[in-house]
Amino acid sequence: MNKTEEVFNKIADKIIDNKQYLTKLDSAIGDGDHGINMARGFSEVKEEFESAEFDSNSAVVKKVAMTLISNVGGASGPLYGTAFLQASKVMEEDLSLKNAVKIGEAVIEGIKMRGKAEQGDKTMLDAIIPAVNALKEDYEAGVELEEALQDCLEAAEEGKESTIPLVAKKGRASYLGERSKGHQDPGATSSYMIIETIIKEII
Amino acid sequence: MKKKLVNNPDDVVEEMLAGVVAAEPDRYKKLKDQNVLVRADAPVDKVALVSGGGSGHEPTHGGYVGPGMLDAAVAGDVFTSPTPDAVYEAIKAVDSGNGVFLVIKNYTGDVMNFEMAEDMAEADGIETAHVVVNDDVAVEDSTYTSGRRGVAGTIFVHKIAGALAAQGASLQEVKEIAEKVVANVRTKGMALYPCRVPAADESTFSLEENEMELGIGIHGEPGTERTEVKSADEIVNNLVTDVIEDLPFSANDEVAVIVNGMGGTPLMELYIANRKVNEILGAKNIDIYKTFVGEYMTSLEMAGLSVTLLKLDDELKELLDAPTAVDLLK
Ligand SMILES: Nc1ncnc2c1ncn2[C@@H]1O[C@H](COP(=O)(O)OP(=O)(O)O)[C@@H](O)[C@H]1O
Ligand SMILES: [Mg+2]
């Protein structure tokens, strides 16, 4: 198993462990299936890894993308699937801060293209955009990779929490209007978990 | 934890479809590796209709597969849009070269997964088109939101577009009639008791013993207003008034009505509700052309109902009356 596979295995464990928690968040403002959807997709990812052989990191990420598209369903399936697919297209074999920024931008572009949401709409983008912005600022300021990843993690966490007071404008939660306030967005939470796991595995 | 008649929660959709096919083997076949029900005689030489969405809304959509209505129904997991692969396999299974028309309920996930499936089909040279149904008046319609949900009014799209396709219309004509139905159909629902998806430990929302939720969605998404339980007449009055004012429906309009049970509502209560629907429309001089009372689009064991009105003209009436093998819409 190569390093990227290991990282995604850890992500899968994290998501599967938090299946009920993510589902509970989605029950508050959605339809109570986010954890179930994500756990179904990532269980399949783990299974795929058992038989597949990969010759590059980007091939691993592409496999993850296709597996999520084929197994998650809901809104998060095409969104995460598209995000990882875009990431796989720009991913280089050696990790660098520069490439991490590029991957982050590709992820955001993919999610926006598919879901037409913006920052502040109370979606997964509210965790991802600040995280990628933090990486970008640190890259431009010449900060070391490890420190940049720390900043990225903090920004993602703040971003996830920033969804609590927001009124949802996209996805099922938007049906609630004002009543969506006061709840953390499930997709922003799963995005934070993914970012957290990737960063903790690298550092 | 509530009791449920399930085995492994992960297997509910597959086991349900196996039961459906076992009950009516001459009507349906199930695709081998996907949770898709198709007409036993598919592909038929006409524009094919495919719909689908999360499961848990039975008889939606499998119950509408048959001559005069759908050619295939794609069953996602409970309350979860099916994946693009599943929709794509359905499209391939029913395409006869005349194109495939998709009826999509307006949920972010459904729209994205179905559109990805269309991209896949078009790459194979299969012509597709779709309509997005958004009949739920409880949701504010705005370009800044995901827009209105697709609920029980979808059944009229299946019936009317299905009838036109059966007469040999083109893909474009089928799309136009479907859009006409969407432009003229409105629904509002409510719940008395919530539901629980088989894989979850808790209900998707909770209601106190004396509470009800108006404007509920069919996935147990909380509605727009929570109040104490009122009488059947008051509840129906709230639903029908909002539906009428939205389009708006006016005196001398002719309408088709669906009084739809959410899964846990006794037929007795649906008929009590329909009595009031009839009375309100009568008082407003809105003519009822046809009424359907029963379970058309449910939400697992949720108790409650929705009321749908479709404004008719001669063309829509003829297609609504056109023959179909689907018992529910006969
Ligand atoms: N248009 C969108 N753009 C970005 N993210 C979205 C969009 N719509 C929904 N989401 C994310 O998807 C999450 C819900 O995913 P999930 O529950 O799996 O799907 P569904 O809403 O179809 O039930 C939300 O919490 C939100 O973060
Ligand atoms: Mg959900």
Across chain B, what does the average pLDDT equal?
A: 95
A38 vs chain B: nearest CA distance in angstroms?
11
B147 — pLDDT class (breaks 50, 70, 90): confident
B61 is catalytic: no
Judged by CB atoms closer than 8 Å, whether chains meet at A175 and B146 is answered as yes
* B237: its two tokens: 């009055």
Q: pLDDT at residue B1 above 60?
A: no
Q: pLDDT at residue A174 above 60?
A: yes
B313: helix, strand or coil: coil
Domain extent listing, chain A: 3-202
* A143: its two tokens: 């900060």
B189: helix, strand or coil: strand
Phi then psi dihedrals of residue B36, to 5 deg: -130, 130
Please tell me the pTM assigned to this model. 0.91
In 3D space, the residue among B215, B101, B239, B108 whose CA is nearest the CA of residue B164 turns out to be B101
DSSP states of chain A as a string?
--HHHHHHHHHHHHHHHTHHHHHHHHHHHS-S-HHHHHHHHHHHHHHHHHH---SSHHHHHHHHHHHHHHHT-TTHHHHHHHHHHHHHHH--SS--HHHHHHHHHHHHHHHHHHH---TTSSSTHHHHHHHHHHHHHHHHHT--HHHHHHHHHHHHHHHHHHTTTPPP-SSGGGGGGGGGTTS--HHHHHHHHHHHHHHHHH-
In 3D space, the residue among A67, A40, A35, A37 whose CA is nearest the CA of residue A51 turns out to be A67
Judged by CB atoms closer than 8 Å, whether chains meet at B77 and A70 is answered as no
Which fold, B9-183? Rossmann fold (3.40.50)
Ligand 1 touching residue A26 (CB < 6 A):
yes
B188 interfacial to chain A (CB closer than 8 Å) = no
CA distance B192 to B207: 8
**Percentage of the residues of chain B whose pLDDT score is greater than 90:** 90
Tokens 């983008």 -> residue: A125
Ligand 1 touching residue A126 (CB < 6 A):
no
Interface probe for A, chosen from B34, B145, B188, B302 (most Cβ of A below 10 Å), is B145
B131: helix, strand or coil: strand
CA distance B322 to A139: 66
The beta-carbon contacts of B88-91 under 8 Å, at least 24 apart in sequence, are B88/B117, B88/B120, B88/B121, B89/B31, B89/B33, B89/B34, B89/B36, B90/B31, B90/B34, B90/B36, B90/B38, B90/B50, B90/B52, B91/B48, B91/B50, B91/B117, B91/B118, B91/B121, B91/B126, B91/B128
- Residue B67 Cα to ligand 2 middle (Å): 33
CA distance A199 to A12: 14
Across chain A, what does the average pLDDT equal?
A: 96
ipTM for this prediction: 0.85
In chain A, residues with a C-beta closer than 8 Å to the C-beta of B201 are: 20
B206 — pLDDT class (breaks 50, 70, 90): confident
Q: A3-202 is classed in which CATH architecture?
A: Alpha Horseshoe (1.25)
In 3D space, the residue among B48, B46, B328 whose CA is nearest the CA of residue B167 turns out to be B46
Q: pLDDT at residue B196 above 60?
A: yes
B144 — pLDDT class (breaks 50, 70, 90): low
A197 — pLDDT class (breaks 50, 70, 90): very high
- CB-closest option in A20, A40, A176 to B222: A176
Beta pairing partners, B188: B307
List, for residues B23-47, the tens digit of each pLDDT value: 999 999 999 999 999 999 999 999 9
At position A65, the amino acid (one-letter code) is A
List, for residues A68-97, the tens digit of each pLDDT value: 999 999 999 999 999 999 999 999 999 999
* B277: its two tokens: 């629907």
List, for residues B251-309, the tens digit of each pLDDT value: 999 999 999 999 999 999 999 999 999 999 999 999 999 999 999 999 999 999 999 99
Alpha carbon distances (Å) from A85 to A34, A78, A103, B183: 20, 10, 10, 37
Which residue among B57, B61, B130, B158 is the active-site one?
Answer: B57
B133 vs chain A: nearest CA distance in angstroms?
15
Q: Where are the alpha helices (DSSP H) in B185-313?
A: 232-246, 267-283
Angle, helices B267-283/B232-246, rounded to nearest 10 degrees:
50
CA triplet A130, A135, A138: central angle to 5 degrees?
Answer: 120
* A156: its two tokens: 């993602």
DSSP B136: B
B206: helix, strand or coil: coil
Tokens 């396709």 -> residue: B165
Q: pLDDT at residue B133 above 70?
A: yes
Q: In what order do the strands lie in the sheet with B28-30?
A: B28-30, B36-39, B72-78, B48-55, B100-105, B128-133
Which fold, B186-329? Hypothetical Protein Tm841; Chain: A;domain 3 (3.30.1180)
In chain B, residues with a C-beta closer than 8 Å to the C-beta of A76 are: 109
- CB-closest option in B76, B149, B200 to A73: B76
Point out the least confidently predicted range of B147-161, B162-176, B222-236, B288-302: B222-236
In this prediction, residue B5 carries a pLDDT of 95
Point out the least confidently predicted range of B72-76, B81-85, B205-209, B274-278: B205-209
B158: helix, strand or coil: helix
Point out the least confidently predicted range of A74-88, B194-208, B304-318: B194-208
Give me the mean pLDDT over the A24-36 stretch. 91
CA distance B175 to B131: 7
Closest-CA residue, ligand 1 atom 1, reads A115
In chain A, residues with a C-beta closer than 8 Å to the C-beta of B217 are: 31, 172, 175
> What's the distance, CA B3 to chain centroid?
26
DSSP states of A172-190 as a string?
GGGGGGGGGTTS--HHHHH
> What's the distance, CA A171 to chain centroid?
16
In this prediction, residue B27 carries a pLDDT of 97
Question: Who wins on pLDDT, A27 or A149?
Answer: A149
Strands B185-193 and B128-133: unpaired
Give me the mean pLDDT over the B317-323 stretch. 98
Contact call for residues A73 and A37 (beta carbons, < 8 A): yes
Ligand 1 touching residue B221 (CB < 6 A):
no
B214: helix, strand or coil: strand
B57 is catalytic: yes
Helix, strand, coil fractions of chain B, as percent rounded to 5: 35, 25, 40
Q: pLDDT at residue B142 above 70?
A: no
Beta pairing partners, B299: B301
Give me the mean pLDDT over the B145-174 stretch. 96
In this prediction, residue B224 carries a pLDDT of 75
Alpha-carbon dihedral B268, B273, B274, B278, rounded to 10 degrees: 150
CA distance A88 to A69: 14
